[in-house]
């Protein structure tokens, strides 16, 4: 039963995607909507990303210092480990799990509310492909802006670690900065960006899917929003494993 | 003219519309009436293609919507205006933005021309001055009028209204009814109104189709309804003492024309 339902849901998701990835009715309107969504989903997420990143960067640096306290391990390892954790996991997987909560619930509740208040029906009656009109700009905007959020996250996390080095005595700034630069592998940056693009796509499409097919009232919009966030979070973790296996091994 | 021929629609094995046929005439206000759960909303949604009946035909001036492909349906919908029960205005757009929306999406007008057309439509529904307000800032009656303005912005040939009076006070209901009736005659549209408001039935019902338990039980107009012998229709329309009194008055004194 669960398997059948999952397959049926996946089928509906694929059909939904087919409707979403159609040519827009009017490119000028589409372009304006993409810009609006960039602001709503991307730019408005910057403060959250910056706040979380600076604290997590600081915490990672402190925990690294505590865990690798050994005369056999060079002190700059704190910077190196902080960098790799941020590049490999925090700036993409963890960041996207956090954004699934903010952006995913925003998308699902917005589209869900439009569904229950018949605004989507109104679009359809006018002859507008509502899935394409509402969802494609969100996907383009969020996936397109995700690298910016990822890079901001990386930079701010490093600053968080630097603040720990600057204002505590657990590591010197010079060793921390040396650690950030040591044994750097450029591929880790690309790996993180590729993952974040995939996760952004998952967040935007899964949340839209749950919002678009809401039936009922306000309570159901809330449920759809929760389901959208939970499903996209699980998918992010699943794809994290798959992409790590594919890209790092 | 819209002709419905033998449509049947079921949900999970429960038949909601049984072999229903009806004709909705051009230039008239056509009303679908019936109790809650009688199948009238399913019928209206089937007419506009939001639901697909299992069998039958729905002909828009001879064009069968059920035989059309997605692109043809999309083209047909540009000739359709619809007023939803809850108005369905776009929350993120102003009143003017809502009315301009179909013009922006489907015409190649300049911005000035679109503004002129939108303002004309707003003026037609007596809403000049409210163009910069958001839907949340105006009353339910005003929202309905904005929705009517949006629905007529593209000069549609067919206008569908799903319970246009729901949630409105009697005075505003009458204003909306009169507006819909006037617009229908002015633009020679085929207007289909789904309602269970008795004031609308007796006030603007030029062609009335009564649906009962998914069956089309009666067809007539607002004058003929007073003399109907259909028991279900009598129970539905003249359910209250007030409307029984109205019927008695009309039988004795005749009907006052608008």
Burial of A5: CB neighbours in 10 Å, binned 0-12, 13-18, 19+ = exposed
Tell me the two tokens of residue A69: 């306290």
Distance of CA B78 to the CA centre of its chain: 16
**Which pLDDT belongs to residue B191?**
94
Separation in Å, CA of A234 to nearest CA in chain B: 31
Tell me the two tokens of residue B204: 């603007």
Confidence of residue B133 (pLDDT cuts 50, 70, 90): very high
- Of residues B169, B119, B174, the one with CA closest to residue B149: B119
**Which pLDDT belongs to residue A171?**
87
Of B75, B76, B86, the CB nearest to A117: B86
Confidence of residue B234 (pLDDT cuts 50, 70, 90): confident
> pLDDT tens digits, residue range B8-19?
999 988 899 999
Confidence of residue B256 (pLDDT cuts 50, 70, 90): low
Give the ipTM.
0.82
Q: What does R_g of chain A's alpha carbons equal in angstroms? A: 21
Question: Rounded CA gap, A125 and A18, in Å?
Answer: 19
Taking residue B111's Cβ as centre, other Cβ atoms within 10 Å add up to 10
Confidence of residue B250 (pLDDT cuts 50, 70, 90): confident
Tell me the helix, strand and coil percentages in chain A, rounded to 5: 85, 0, 15
B88–A122 C-beta distance less than 8 A: yes
Burial of A106: CB neighbours in 10 Å, binned 0-12, 13-18, 19+ = buried
A121–B88 C-beta distance less than 8 A: yes
DSSP state of B257: P
Instruction: Report yes or no: A108 and A207 within 8 Å, Cβ to Cβ.
Output: yes
pLDDT at residue B89 tops 90: yes
Angstrom CA distances, B77 to A129, B42, B158, B249, stand at 11, 18, 9, 43
Of A29, A118, A127, the CB nearest to B77: A127
In chain B, alpha helices (H):
40-47, 70-77, 95-106, 111-124, 140-152, 170-187, 198-204, 231-237, 241-253
> pLDDT tens digits, residue range A121-159?
999 888 899 999 999 999 999 999 999 999 999 999 999
| Selection from A205-209, B19-23, B62-66 with the highest mean pLDDT | A205-209
B89–A119 C-beta distance less than 8 A: yes
**Which pLDDT belongs to residue B258?**
53
A127–B74 C-beta distance less than 8 A: yes
Taking the Cβ of residue A19 and every Cβ of chain B, the question of whether any pair is shorter than 8 Å is answered with no
> pLDDT tens digits, residue range A145-199?
999 999 999 999 999 999 999 998 888 999 999 999 999 999 999 999 999 999 9
Tell me the two tokens of residue A210: 């749950």
B86–A127 C-beta distance less than 8 A: no
- Of residues A89, A53, A46, A85, the one with CA closest to residue A163: A53
């Amino acid at each position: 039963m669960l398997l059948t339902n999952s397959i049926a849901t996946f089928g509906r998701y694929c059909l939904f995607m087919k409707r979403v990835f159609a040519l827009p009715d009017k490119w000028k309107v589409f372009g304006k909507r993409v810009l609006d969504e960039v602001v709503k989903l991307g730019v408005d997420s910057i403060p959250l990303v910056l706040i979380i990143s600076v604290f997590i960067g600081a915490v990672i640096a402190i925990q690294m210092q505590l865990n690798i306290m050994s005369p056999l391990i060079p002190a700059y390892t704190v910077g190196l480990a902080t960098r790799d954790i941020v590049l490999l996991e925090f700036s993409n997987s963890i960041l996207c799990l956090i954004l699934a909560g903010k952006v995913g619930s925003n998308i699902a509740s917005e589209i869900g509310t439009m569904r229950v208040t018949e605004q989507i029906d109104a679009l359809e009656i006018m002859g507008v492909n509502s899935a394409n009109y509402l969802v494609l700009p969100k996907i383009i905007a969020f996936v397109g802006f995700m690298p910016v959020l990822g890079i901001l996250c990386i930079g701010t996390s490093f600053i968080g670690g630097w603040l720990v080095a600057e204002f505590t005595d657990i590591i010197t700034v010079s060793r921390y900065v040396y650690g950030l630069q040591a044994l750097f592998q450029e591929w880790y940056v690309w790996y993180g960006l590729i993952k974040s693009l995939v996760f952004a796509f998952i967040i935007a499409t899964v949340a839209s899917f749950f919002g678009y097919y809401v039936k009922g009232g306000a309570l159901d919009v809330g449920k759809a929003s929760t389901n959208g966030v939970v499903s996209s979070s699980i998918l992010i973790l699943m794809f994290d494993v798959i992409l790590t296996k594919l890209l790092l091994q | 003219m819209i002709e419905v021929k033998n449509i049947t629609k079921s949900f999970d094995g429960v038949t909601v519309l049984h072999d229903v046929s009806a004709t909705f005439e051009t230039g008239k206000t056509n009303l679908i009436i019936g109790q809650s759960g009688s199948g009238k909303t399913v019928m209206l949604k089937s007419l506009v293609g939001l639901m697909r009946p299992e069998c039958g035909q729905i002909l828009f001036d001879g064009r069968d919507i059920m035989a059309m492909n997605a692109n043809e349906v999309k083209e047909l919908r540009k000739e359709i205006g619809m007023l939803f029960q809850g108005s369905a205005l776009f929350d993120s757009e102003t009143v003017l933005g809502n009315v301009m929306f179909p013009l922006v999406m489907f015409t190649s007008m300049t911005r000035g021309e679109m503004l002129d057309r939108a303002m004309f439509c707003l003026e037609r529904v007596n809403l000049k001055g409210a163009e910069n307000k958001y839907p949340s800032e105006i009353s339910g009656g005003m929202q309905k009028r904005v929705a009517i303005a949006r629905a007529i912005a593209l000069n549609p040939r067919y206008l569908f209204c799903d319970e246009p009076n729901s949630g409105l006070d009697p005075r505003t209901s009458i204003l909306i009814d009169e507006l819909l009736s006037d617009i229908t005659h002015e633009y020679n549209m085929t207007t289909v109104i789904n309602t269970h408001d008795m004031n609308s039935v007796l006030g603007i019902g030029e062609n009335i189709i009564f649906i009962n338990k998914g069956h089309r039980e009666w067809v007539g107009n607002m004058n003929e309804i007073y003399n109907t012998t259909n028991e279900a229709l009598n129970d539905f329309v003249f359910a209250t003492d007030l409307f029984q009194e109205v019927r008695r008055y009309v039988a004795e004194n005749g009907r006052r024309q608008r």
